[in-house]
Amino acid sequence: MSTLATGGMSVMIVDDHPLMRMGIAALIDAQPDMRVVAQAGTVELAIALHEECRPDITLMDLRLPGIGGVAGIRQIRKRRPQARFVVVTMYEGDEDVHQALEAGAQGYVIKGMPHETLINAIKRVHSGGRFLPPPVARVLQSRTEDSKLSPREHEVLTLLVQGKSNKEIARQLRIAEATVKCHFRIIYMRMGVTDRTQAVVAALQRGLVHL
């Protein structure tokens, strides 16, 4: 953890890759109006440091050990509803974006985008705005209400991605195999696919399920 900045925007970085944290920290500390005040590799540490440092902006990865970034945003915002977040992640699916924004993130940046994109996101969110780069905005716009899965459908899809057969899914969820087949018909329709392989590919691409 670095010392608290005396002026400008204070930023906390939450990412489980030390080299990624170091790179982002160097970029931010090079800005005249920004300072990194804390770094964390887990949500648990991020919650504690957020309470201690009260950063203006938290940069949150989604793929983290334990409960993950979306849950981390929710937990921190329960304690500090005014907390502001920019998600910085490799996940590009519409479900990833939707879940992060629903949890309370105000910005969403894909790792690999130009450095200026992240700096602009921090400034926009700090000023009270929302920041979605055009590729992220397009992905979010592709999401429709008809494509939303119920909790049970999501359970079935998750088990499918894990390679479970219909019989294994039925046994694990304690439902009839015919019910599993019915769920798959609805899942295929909502996702715009026609078979199990397409459903797995679409689930991973959209961020409905992560390996």
Domain hosting residue 76, numbered range: 9-141
Q: Residue 4: its pLDDT value, please?
A: 41
Within-domain flag for 73:
yes
**Edge-first strand listing for the sheet containing 107-110:** 34-40, 9-14, 57-60, 84-89, 107-110
Within-domain flag for 109:
yes
Same domain, yes or no: 123 and 154? no
Q: Residue 5: its pLDDT value, please?
A: 40
Q: Give the Cα-Cα-Cα angle 95, 98, 99 (nearest 5 degrees).
A: 85
pLDDT tens figures, 182-208: 999 999 988 889 999 999 998 888 888
Last residue of a domain, one of 141, 156, 186: 141
pLDDT tens figures, 89-112: 999 899 899 999 999 999 999 999
Give the residue carrying structure tokens 């905005």: 137
Cβ atoms 156, 173 nearer than 8 A: yes
Q: Spell out, as residue ranges, where the chain has pLDDT lower than 50.
A: 1-6
Residue 8, φ and ψ in degrees, nearest 5: 80, -170
Same domain, yes or no: 76 and 177? no
Q: What gap in Å lies between CA 19 and CA 178, rounded to an integer?
A: 49
Give the residue carrying structure tokens 């130009």: 114
Q: Residue 61: its pLDDT value, please?
A: 97
Within-domain flag for 44:
yes
Beta strands in 69-207 (DSSP E): 84-89, 107-110
Same domain, yes or no: 197 and 167? yes
Same domain, yes or no: 31 and 81? yes
CATH number of domain containing 181: 1.10.10.10
Within-domain flag for 24:
yes
CATH number of domain containing 114: 3.40.50.2300
Give the chain's domain count: 2
Q: Residue 145: its pLDDT value, please?
A: 67
Within-domain flag for 158:
yes
Same domain, yes or no: 103 and 171? no
